[in-house]
Amino acid sequence: MTNDQNLETAPQEVEARAVEARVEAFIGVREARRSEVAEDYVELIAELIHDNGEARPVDIATRMGVTAPTVAKTLGRLARDGLITRAKYRSVFLTEEGRALAKECRHRHEIVLRFLLSLGLDPETAERDAEGIEHHVSERTLALFADFADRS
């Protein structure tokens, strides 16, 4: 080490640390991306069950704005991942795990939406942005959003 008694950190180490922090950010975002679709589906399925008594693929397709085969394939992945159960030609049920995820997602969605509205955003834009942002807020950010919305 060339520093006097090693008291300072070399500039390239500072740089390396900054790079490393950002790599973690990118990796984290890619990770989050992998669950976005699942999160939106289970949240919607929970809502359909609550509102309509059941979650039919056709209603999922209508609300997600995708075609029926896309829904079928996605439901296959959700079942594989233990979030739903289903029988052929029947509507869909959430597993315990699916219900837990749905609840968490609805909670996050609501906080983000409430926060955006309390910032002064119009409802349509707020809904639109919340639908994307909800998948990328950490627990900490969510807590700050909730605080802010409560205080205003």
Partner DNA sequence: GCAAAAAGTTAGCTTAGGCTAACAATCAAG
Partner DNA sequence: CTTGATTGTTAGCCTAAGCTAACTTTTTGC
Candidates 47, 49, 70, 141; binder of DNA (CB under 7 A) is: 70
Rule CB under 8 A: which of 61-120 touch a second copy?
62-65, 116, 119-120
Selection from 79, 86, 141, 80 nearest residue 112 by Cα: 141
The one among 25, 72, 100, 119 contacting DNA by CB under 7 A: 72
If contact means CB under 5 to 8 A according to the sort of partner, which of Mn ion, a second copy, DNA, none does residue 109 touch? Mn ion
59 binds Mn ion (CB under 5 A): no
Question: In angstroms, what is the minimal distance from the CB of 133 to a second copy?
Answer: 5
DSSP-based helix, strand, coil % in the chain, nearest 5? 75, 5, 20
Within residues 93-152, the interface with DNA by CB under 7 A covers none
Nearest to 48 by CA among 37, 57, 38, 36: 57
- Tell me how far, at minimum, the Cβ of 105 lies from Mn ion, in Å: 6
Q: How many CB atoms lie within 10 A of CB 125?
A: 11
Which of 79, 93, 99, 131 binds a second copy (CB under 8 A)? It is: 131
Q: Which of these, 91, 94, 5, 85, lies nearest to 42 by C-alpha position?
A: 94
Supply angle C-alpha 119, 51, 75, rounded to 5.
Answer: 90
Decide if 115 contacts 134 (C-beta within 8 A): no
- Do the Cβ atoms of 84 and 21 come closer than 8 Å? no
CB-nearer residue toward DNA: 8 or 104: 104
Name which of residues 107 to 146 contact Mn ion (CB under 5 A): 109, 131
Binding site for DNA (CB under 7 A): 30, 34, 36-38, 56-59, 61, 64-70, 72-75, 77, 86, 88-91
